[in-house]
Structure 1
Amino acid sequence: MTFSLVARCAETGMFGIAISSSSPAVAARCSYARAGVGAVASQNVTDPTLGPLTLDLMEQGASATEAIAAIVAQGRFIEYRQVLAVDGTGDTAIHSGPNSLGIWTQAQADNVASGGNLLANEGVPQAIVDGFLAASGHLGDRLIAAMRSGLAAGGEAGPVHSAGLKIVDMVAWPVADLRCDWTEDCPIEAVAKTWDVYKPQLDAYVQRALDPRAAPSYGVPGDE
């Protein structure tokens, strides 16, 4: 019911995740990222505890490969879970349990990993990875391009209704956490449209948190 990617920007060290599903509010349950540590997607009959646990292991020094191996060794009902991770070196790892739904598969390269279940065809994750590697610009732009590539390759077996994009970078909170929790239209395009609006203001929102005296105004009522 889901396809996603986790990724690291080799130039900036940012981490990000983008995800879409036929289920509502997929990003609320399945997307995890921590600045300086990595990004994780926990999906397919989702266990939301696996995302933070994988990040904790990587923060303690485990590679993505080692963290996923530990998750597989200790996770409950791990045969139903699909977990993707990328760490600070660009190492990527994926676990796809044999009880993943429908057509399920995965693909990975340095700095990017993609997986999905209940897919239209087995080529979707590779199309997502290829789309990410072919794109340029801000990590958010590359995540959107990758998800569009996955959708163009067939996406999920049925229509998707929710999507999300999360990016972390140097501060303790996500610098972007954009979601479409339900729509009858394309949720990926809804998130992409939101990203187009949010991207020019991203740095300003960080600046407002760190030192509002130097932050620019965007014409919000009461904001002078």
Structure 2
Amino acid sequence: MKKTLYTVASVCCLAMPAARAQVFKTDEPLAHTYSIVARDPETGEMAVGVQSHWFSVGTAVPWAEAGVGVVATQSFTNKSFGMRGLELLKQGKTPEEALAILLKDDEGREVRQVSILDAQGRVATHTGKNCIRYAGHITGKNFSVQANMMLTDKVWPAMAKAFEQSTGKPLAERVLLAMQAAEREGGDIRGKQSAALVVVKGKKNDQPWDERTIDLRVDDHEKPLDELARLLKVYRAYEHMNNGDLAVEKGQMDKAMQEYGKAETMFPNNLEMKYWHAITLANNGDINGATKLLREVYKKDDNWKELTTRLPEVGLLTLKPQDLKKIMEVK
């Protein structure tokens, strides 16, 4: 695929005036795509969602920083617009001002598509007049949708409608719904290959390593949006697992069991979830409940039973000898 795309770039170079040939370079990915930048006014979270018929689109289009904003840079992508756009926002520039600065000296501005959204929900988007049709964008309150090289001109209006009609759902799910709406209208004229979803917090804190709450990428897949939706579901399931662990730490066992149950309902065949649920039950005195779950796990994979033998030595399984024996004799 890369060979084909680079050939296209070379043809473009030959067809364009020499002064603009530098725009079409192999280090500027041909990320023709549709994307959405958005903010949740309730939580302050900001997100970028993107899909393209291009390998690993998540490494080129989406840029995000908690408490600052998000950027989508696509079409004949200038990746520097991501980092530079965020830096301009940090300097106090509005999205409109930042976008104007980025485009001012860019010889490829007419083949660029860029959208910038800040932590206040202000947004600015540019679609160059030479972006391959169908191309366009719609900006709204706390969001912008943009697309180029689409099969039809209904793609980005469908995205905007889907996002606006999904108020009340978590931001990540709303972004995914917008992208699914794009695909129903035909999406990228070339098809589909990769997708990405990034969500950051609305405010900075003293733990920057936790500011990117969701960071999912599908680099190469026949149905990247379906895979992205599956990964988001997995993420939500593990949120329930984490909430269960937190409830255990606080001695809220009823809540912990509810959270573990929700996770297992979402992925009933996930041995990891069942196993740690069982270990938590055992550590809290419910040996019968633990053995029931462990029996299911051990039948499918003996390695989990071996793992159980290793937990007491590191303090992760603290049982009386007779209870430990019951756990280990489960068949």
User: Which TM-score band (shorter chain)?
Assistant: 0.7 to 0.9
Q: Which residue of 2 aligns with 1:45?
A: 76
TM-score (norm 2): 0.61
* Matching of residues 27-106 of structure 1 within 5 Å: 27-106=58-137
Give the secondary-structure state (helix, strand or coil) at the position aligned to 1:44. Answer: strand
- Give me the whole-angstrom Cα distance separating, in 2, the residues matched to 1:202 and 1:143: 19
Confirm or deny: 8 A CA contact 1:27 1:163 kept in the other structure. yes
- Verify: 1:122 aligned to 2:120, yes or no: no
Alpha-carbon displacement from aligned partner over 1:100-139 (angstroms, at most 9, x marks no partner): 1231111110111011111011121121111111113111
Match of 2:227 among 177, 190, 195: 190
Segments of 4+ moved more than 6 angstroms: 220-223
- Verify: 1:176 aligned to 2:224, yes or no: no
Match of 1:154 among 167, 186, 190: 186
Cα RMSD after superposing both structures: 2.5
- Give me the whole-angstrom Cα distance separating, in 2, the residues matched to 1:72 and 1:112: 21
- Give me the whole-angstrom Cα distance separating, in 1, the residues matched to 2:239 and 2:136: 34
Give the secondary-structure state (helix, strand or coil) at the position aligned to 1:175. Answer: strand
- Verify: 1:138 aligned to 2:138, yes or no: no
Confirm or deny: 8 A CA contact 1:72 1:95 kept in the other structure. no
Q: Which residue of 1 aligns with 2:197?
A: 165
Alpha-carbon displacement from aligned partner over 1:5-47 (angstroms, at most 9, x marks no partner): 0000110000001000001100111101111111110101111
Counterpart code for 1:150 = A
Change (3 A) 1:40 1:203: farther
Change (3 A) 1:71 1:204: farther
Unaligned runs of 5+ in 1: none
Decide which structure has greater helix share: 2
Counterpart code for 1:155 = G
Give the secondary-structure state (helix, strand or coil) at the position aligned to 1:125. Answer: helix
Confirm or deny: 8 A CA contact 1:108 1:126 kept in the other structure. no
Confirm or deny: 8 A CA contact 1:180 1:190 kept in the other structure. yes
Change (3 A) 1:32 1:120: same
The structure with higher relative contact order (CA 8 Å, sep 6+) is 1
- How far residue 154 of structure 1 moved from its aligned partner, in angstroms, is 2.0
- Give me the whole-angstrom Cα distance separating, in 2, the residues matched to 1:204 and 1:52: 34
Unaligned runs of 5+ in 2: 1-31, 251-255, 261-272, 277-303, 317-331
Q: Which residue of 1 aligns with 2:139?
A: 108
